Amino acid sequence: MSKGIVTIFTGEGRGKTSAAIGRAIQAADAGERVVIIQFLKGRGLKGSEFVRRLEPEIMLFCFEKSDESFKDLTEEQQQEEIRNIKNGLGYAKKVLATGECDLLILDEVLGLVENEIISSEELISLIDAREETNMILTGINLRDEICFKADEVSKIETIKFKVWE
């Protein structure tokens, strides 16, 4: 049995999630089942309503309850959200164990390691559980031990940015 491909979109630039969603659309167009789990973005990023219109081919899950970004929460609110995040990770494990999808996207999962919500070892264990499922991980900072587990790593760098009107 072959292992699924692990792709990472990382870096300070804008567009990591957009790149992952682009891959999700390609996979869904090819008839694959896609699950996206978002972390550290509250109840979901702007534009998530568009992705929700792509269901059931692309399923989007946000386990956090707050409307605010994780970093903007009080310590008490962060502890509550950590419990929700751990539920999201548990769901990711279930998806991998059951083969529920062909592509699993863990959006901003690298931030969980950066914020010490999970360890590198916990994320590596999740990656190793993938069997034939392809995975995409996103986040700003990438640790070497996680990078070594990937088949493809793209570092996103923004050269110039202007808000669209």
Instruction: Give the model's confidence band at 47: pLDDT under 50 very low, under 70 low, under 90 confident, else very high.
Output: low
114 token code pair? 């950066």
∠ CA(144), CA(148), CA(153), 5° rounding?
A: 90
Instruction: Give the model's confidence band at 44: pLDDT under 50 very low, under 70 low, under 90 confident, else very high.
Output: low
Query: Does residue 164 belong to any structural domain of this protein?
Result: no
Structural domain for 28, as ranges: 6-155
Query: Does residue 56 belong to any structural domain of this protein?
Result: yes
Query: Does residue 41 belong to any structural domain of this protein?
Result: yes
Number of structural domains (the chain) is 1
Alpha-carbon span 80 to 46, nearest angstrom = 22
Query: Does residue 59 belong to any structural domain of this protein?
Result: yes
Query: Cβ atoms within 10 A of the Cβ of 33, count?
Result: 18
Query: Does residue 36 belong to any structural domain of this protein?
Result: yes
Query: Does residue 165 belong to any structural domain of this protein?
Result: no
Question: pLDDT value at position 48?
Answer: 64
Alpha-carbon span 89 to 92, nearest angstrom = 5
Q: What is the mean pLDDT of residues 87-111?
A: 96
CATH of the domain at 78: 3.40.50.300
Query: Does residue 160 belong to any structural domain of this protein?
Result: no
